[in-house]
Amino acid sequence: MIVNYIHWSPAPEIINILGLSIRYYGLLFAGGLILSIYILGWIYKRENIPSEHLDKLSIYGMIGILVGARLGHCLFYEPSYYLSHPLEMILPITFPPEGGVKFIGYQGLASHGGALGLLIALYFYSRKTKHSMIHTIDLIAVVAALACGFIRLGNFMNSEIIGIPTTKFWGVIFERVDNIPRHPAQLYEAVSYFLIFIIMMILYTKMSDKLKNGFFFGLGLVLCFTARFIIEFVKENQVGFEDGMLFNMGQLLSLPYITLGLGFIIYGLRKTKAQYLRLS
């Protein structure tokens, strides 16, 4: 039987203006964050939280995500290279062997590092605004998966983080990589994150008075990183040292977040129950 696989080979760059490269990945990354912040603004109004707090949260959050995601990739996946090339860790450049400097953008962002960077940023946001950190992370958890989905669409446009070979009819041939039909792992993740976002929004709008004290944060961690753990089984390893591992780096880094999420779910349910018992 002849299978007509999907052939995929878009150029990552949309346009280049005087050396300034505008890429699909950057637009989808920024678009996902902006849309998430917009929805978070609606949630802040619903919660009667001052709008200036959202402005501060947006700044702290974006810095935390970008710095954490970048450092996470460099230190989790390619520590030996980047520790010997520290400038390339913080600047969007590389120093080719033939000499000179080449602008390459930030090629490599790790979601696990981004999540950790966001949590650190939220600690400082909470101290600055006096807004409860556990309440803040609950509200962010409601929209976080939406931004993650857009980021994975950006990876799809870049033909990166590809899946392992497959004979399924929905296999995609990433022509910029090779001529082998592969699982579109980026789309699996994107769809998973969009579904998680829908679940979180439904629970928030219908049950936010009963599910709080870290419950949404814990549920978001469990759902997102469980999806990530499972989908890693159909992904190609990102770096060579993962080839001999039972679980790759993405899966190993997901386990602490899943465990933390379960802890917050239990804590949130118990604390909310105790609060209701005191009021009754």
Confidence of residue 91 (pLDDT cuts 50, 70, 90): low
Tell me the percentage of the chain whose pLDDT exceeds 90.
50
Tokens of 129: 């605004």
Where are the chain's structural domains? 25-279
User: Which pair of tokens denotes residue 126?
Assistant: 């909470």
Task: State yes or no: pLDDT of 268 exceeds 90.
Answer: yes
Tens-place pLDDT, residues 32-76? 989 999 999 999 999 999 888 988 888 888 888 888 877 877 776
Give the separation between CA 16 and CA 121, rounded to whole angstroms.
Answer: 33
Measured in whole angstroms, the distance separating CA 31 from the mean position of its chain's CA atoms is: 13
Looking at per-residue pLDDT, the higher value among 109 and 167 belongs to: 167
Cβ-Cβ contacts under 8 Å for 51 (sequence gap 6 or more): 41, 44, 45
Q: Residue 92 pLDDT more than 70?
A: no
DSSP string, 165-231: B--STT-EEETTT-S-EE--HHHHHHHHHHHHHHHHHHHHHHHTTTS-TTHHHHHHHHHHHHHHHHH
Helix then strand count (H, E) for the chain reads 9, 7
Phi, psi at 249, each rounded to 5°: -65, -40
How far, in Å, CA of 141 to CA of 261, rounded?
Answer: 11
Which ranges in 91-165 belong to alpha helices (H)? 111-129, 133-157
The H-or-E segment that residue 22 falls in is strand 20-23
